[in-house]
Amino acid sequence: MERDIREFITYLHNAKKTSHNTEVSYQRDLKKMESFLSERGIREVTDIREMDLEGYLDYMGREKFASSTISRSVASMRAFFQYLFKEKKIEKDPSDGLKPPKVEKKMPEILTVQEVDALLQQPDLSTHKGIRDKAMLELLYATGMRVSELIHLETQDANLQFGYVTCHENGRERIIPIGNVCREALLLYMEKARNAFVKEDSEKVLFTNCSGKAMSRQGFWKMLKGYADDAGIKRDITPHTLRHSFAVHMLQNGADIKSVQEMLGHSDISTTQIYLSMNMSKMRDVYMKAHPRS
């Protein structure tokens, strides 16, 4: 089964052009399934039956796995067994009848404008690290890009003369404008701080860690958490919180939803519309508090 999973991940990468994060997620889910089935003596994909997969889902339910985790596992298993069936490695798809649990959609966490301002004021601009961190935070909030896109940016992707950055994802690219505040933070980083981190002239990554290599998602997350604590933000924020905040703040200030969709890189506008509903909710709160006949 381990070889089948490896071949499936290779298929996703080569044929479906999936992102690295997607491939890691599929592989993690399928390895957990494989471990469960192997402990029960099932080691070949041809031996797997629907009741075996239902047993795995029952186990996840008993162990209090989140509904979202179970649903993602169902999606991973379906994709895996559909691939096996298509490749004629199995005669019947055992995942065909699996039903994922209902997942309650939670509204994304966002920061207020005041909280964002406080967060962005935390880096110490008298240090190279502070200058770098300020540039990264400003860029993430200015563009709404994903943290994976941020840490993979190369120097050539930042056009500071004309004020935009180019994001790359799954063979596609999108251009996102940046404002003067972000542009000045990036200029300061490029002129004063980047060379303090980069060890080799051939390094193309825009933001590096202290060792001169590309920063990891975990490294950026840890940095963000530290500044959030310093800013007195009590909520448990993630890099995606700045992406959510960017979208809602743009809509609150009059941006049209189609433009926000393009800047976020959403292929389906329905994904972006959740921010519009959050914006309408905010408007209703303001109305109910301010209108004399509310």
Q: Specify the pLDDT at position 286.
A: 43
pLDDT digits (tens, 9 = 90+) for 60-96: 999 988 888 899 999 999 999 999 999 999 999 999 9
134 contacts 123 by C-beta, under 8 angstroms: yes
DSSP assignments along 19-57, one per residue: -HHHHHHHHHHHHHHHHHHHTTT--SGGG--HHHHHHHH
Q: Is 113 helix (H, G, I), strand (E, B) or coil?
A: helix
Q: Which of 118-122, 260-264, 284-288 has the lowest mean pLDDT?
A: 284-288
Cβ count near 132 (within 10 Å): 26
Residue 239 has pLDDT above 80, yes or no: yes
pLDDT digits (tens, 9 = 90+) for 45-60: 999 999 999 999 999 9
Residue ranges per structural domain of the chain: 2-86, 113-289
Name the one residue in this structure whose structure tokens are 């962005």.
120
Q: Which of 56-65, 107-116, 205-214 has the lowest mean pLDDT?
A: 107-116
Measured between its terminal Cα atoms, the distance across the chain in Å is 62
Q: Name the class of domain 2-86.
A: mainly alpha
pLDDT digits (tens, 9 = 90+) for 127-159: 999 999 999 999 999 998 888 889 999 999 999
The most confident of the ranges 163-172, 203-212, 248-257, 281-290 is: 203-212
Residue 168 has pLDDT above 50, yes or no: yes
Distance CA 167, CA 145 (A): 8
Distance CA 196, CA 201 (A): 12
Which CATH architecture fits 113-289? Orthogonal Bundle (1.10)
